[in-house]
Structure 1
Amino acid sequence: MRAYLDHLTVERGLATNTLSSYRRDLRRYLAFLAARDIADLGAITESTVTDFLLSLREGDADHPPLSATSAARTVVAVRGFHKFAVRDGLTEADPAAAVKPPAPAKRLPKALPLSDVEAILDAAGAPGTTLALRDRALLELLYGTGARISEAVGLDVDDLDLVDGTVLLRGKGGKERLVPVGSYAREAVSGYLVRARPDLVAAGVSGGTTERAGALFLNARGGRLSRQSAWTVLVRAADRAGVTRDVSPHTLRHSFATHLLDGGADVRVVQELLGHASVTTTQVYTLVTVDNLREVFATAHPRARD
């Protein structure tokens, strides 16, 4: 399993968070095998893997039952491990090949109305503070580019070209994409860089922080802003704006995609902007748009009502 995780790190270039999930899932699989006194790859059968899947869905004294989505992710990790073991000559048979992950219920992404997004952006940060400029820049960039939260906090100043109006985002698997930055986000980021970031850099210098070099979004101590802190920035802004829906950084990404499609953008363009490897992933947003059209049609057309 250590060799498999090394393979995922070096050859597949998986993101740190993805690797952590794989490591956690495989540790649980190891514990399951150990409880059945299985210590050799050759002793694992298809029934063993199937029983593991059932145990995930049922839960036990140490683990709550997993949803279909979480169980599927864990089984994918196990299937990948066994496939790797066969390819590397560690064993001849793949006992997980025929075990299919449970199909999760198809959930449409949740997008916010434009009015809610605007209210959240206006409420970013405590008024009159240095961090307010940073928070507004962060949220404008998230909504204006569709960036994942990890992509946004991982940005360096050099990744931005405010003259050209572009930003270089590094997505899953280290894949890079150049995304346009709209005027609102450019203005917010420019204001933060001129009027707020130098103060945060100075705070880092006086406090002995060395992590500040290059990072675009800094915390109050001059270090790189974390994912958790960025999440808190959004939640607090939503609370100030009185938005009662569940809001997360991914909600802004969903809203970015849905609003683009509602405005007439081609799904292939949205795919490129989001950094999706397959257009199939992006097409789920078209279902949201069709639902919106149906709702408007049903309420507005005189012959559409029951």
Structure 2
Amino acid sequence: MSEQPERGGGEVGDDLPEAFARVLGAYERHLASERDLTPHTVRAYLGDVAGMLRHATALGHADLDSVDLRALRSWLANQQTRGKARTTMARRATAVRVFTAWAHRTGRIATDPGATLGSPKAHRTLPPALSAEQARGLLDAAAGHADDGSPVGLRDVAVLEVLYATGIRVGELCGLDVDDLDRERRVLRVMGKGRKERTVPYGVPADRALGRWLERGRPQLAVPGAGAALFLGVRGGRVDQRAVRTLVHARLAEVPHAPDMGPHGLRHTAATHLLEGGADLRTVQELLGHASLATTQIYTHVSSDRLRSAYRLAHPRA
């Protein structure tokens, strides 16, 4: 099938042979328009695929149909010799398998060399999670900074309450609009990865914090043109992810013996506490917006690890 001879992926593919750059451009359009991925995700996919194509070019391949399984394995081996982490290699191998499957499906290559490409299994480490007492300490620390009624203090309490109550991602939190909040039913409408929308409930403490923020805090920070953003920064625009990460680290530093973590650590904590409280795995999967149940299952390992730790400390014959 014919392609327009434009170079693909912006700067990502500018150093590739024309045939590779052209197919990379088509793949970029597929990721952005057909799969509706974010620009950051698209660039990450293109970067991984472009790395493989550069390696294939160095091996003497000039078109995609000549890139075979041996070339892909050589590329992976090169990653290993350069000291890349197993998680990085696994991610890049997955990106290339998705790319070659697309190329085969769209008739750009006769066979799919990535279909049998293996990759090192990533070591799965248990994500850190706060104890229930540490989570309370975090929220108490934030409340202490809001005693003076400052708009930023009220916002910070609401942000932390929502993160812990819902387990949503920091990007999802920053993207919330006022209309995404249904205080009568105490639910949030969240736009997740791949523009997939889901409804996430939250509890009474988070609702109280949101009420104080909306009634007393947000009006003080809002400026003309602030738009509908639920959480605002100090200059009146939509709060950014960096500010939220700084907030989480700062308040956790005030909690004795709490591990240092960012907003994603609160997501881990929310999931762990839900499972420890009796929530079933599929419910937690839906709340977190995981595409695969396998992603959610790592939190069962967190809970099991804590159970074994408590057993060893408490049982006389452990």
**TM more than 0.5:** yes
Segments of structure 2 that go 5 or more residues without pairing to the other structure are 1-23
Segments of structure 1 that go 5 or more residues without pairing to the other structure are 60-64
Question: How much has 1:48 moved relative to structure 2?
Answer: 1.1
Read off the aligned partner of 1:49 and give its amino acid letter: L
How far, CA to CA, are the matches of 2:257 and 2:62 in structure 1?
A: 52
Question: How much has 1:85 moved relative to structure 2?
Answer: 1.0
Deviates further, 114-123 or 167-176: 114-123
Are 2:180 and 1:159 aligned? yes
Instruction: Assess if the C-alpha contact under 8 Å between 2:253 and 2:260 holds in 1.
Output: no
How far, CA to CA, are the matches of 1:16 and 1:157 in structure 2?
A: 25
Deviates further, 41-50 or 126-135: 126-135
Read off the aligned partner of 2:312 and give its amino acid letter: A
Are 2:249 and 1:231 aligned? no
Which residue does 1:262 correspond to in 2? 276
Question: How much has 1:28 moved relative to structure 2?
Answer: 2.2
Instruction: Assess if the C-alpha contact under 8 Å between 2:252 and 2:260 holds in 1.
Output: no
Are 2:16 and 1:2 aligned? no
Which residue does 1:90 correspond to in 2? 108
Question: What do residues 45-80 of structure 1 show as CA deviations (whole Å, max 9, x unaligned)?
Answer: 211111111122222xxxxx3211111111111111
Question: How much has 1:218 moved relative to structure 2?
Answer: 1.1
Alignment RMSD: 1.8
Which residue does 2:222 correspond to in 1? 201
Give the alignment's TM-score, normalised by structure 1: 0.89
Question: How much has 1:243 moved relative to structure 2?
Answer: 4.9
Question: What do residues 160-198 of structure 1 show as CA deviations (whole Å, max 9, x unaligned)?
Answer: 011211101111111111111101111111111111111
Which residue does 2:73 correspond to in 1? 50
SS at match of 2:124: coil
Give the alignment's TM-score, normalised by structure 2: 0.86
Instruction: Assess if the C-alpha contact under 8 Å between 1:124 and 1:233 holds in 2.
Output: no
How far, CA to CA, are the matches of 2:177 and 2:284 in structure 1?
A: 24
SS at match of 1:179: strand
Q: How many residues align?
A: 292
Instruction: Identify which of structures 1 and 2 has the higher relative contact order when contacts are C-alpha pairs closer than 8 Å and 6+ apart.
Output: 1
Instruction: Assess if the C-alpha contact under 8 Å between 1:169 and 1:178 holds in 2.
Output: yes
Which residue does 1:278 correspond to in 2? 292
Instruction: Assess if the C-alpha contact under 8 Å between 1:56 and 1:66 holds in 2.
Output: yes
Instruction: Assess if the C-alpha contact under 8 Å between 1:124 and 1:234 holds in 2.
Output: no
Which residue does 2:160 correspond to in 1? 139
How far, CA to CA, are the matches of 1:178 and 1:28 in structure 2?
A: 38
Which residue does 1:241 correspond to in 2? 255
How far, CA to CA, are the matches of 2:201 and 2:269 in structure 1?
A: 17
Read off the aligned partner of 2:108 and give its amino acid letter: L
Deviates further, 66-75 or 14-23: 14-23
How far, CA to CA, are the matches of 1:272 and 1:23 in structure 2?
A: 29
Question: How much has 1:244 moved relative to structure 2?
Answer: 4.9
Which residue does 2:61 correspond to in 1? 38
How far, CA to CA, are the matches of 1:216 and 1:243 in structure 2?
A: 32
How far, CA to CA, are the matches of 2:62 and 2:139 in structure 1?
A: 54
How far, CA to CA, are the matches of 1:283 and 1:249 in structure 2?
A: 20
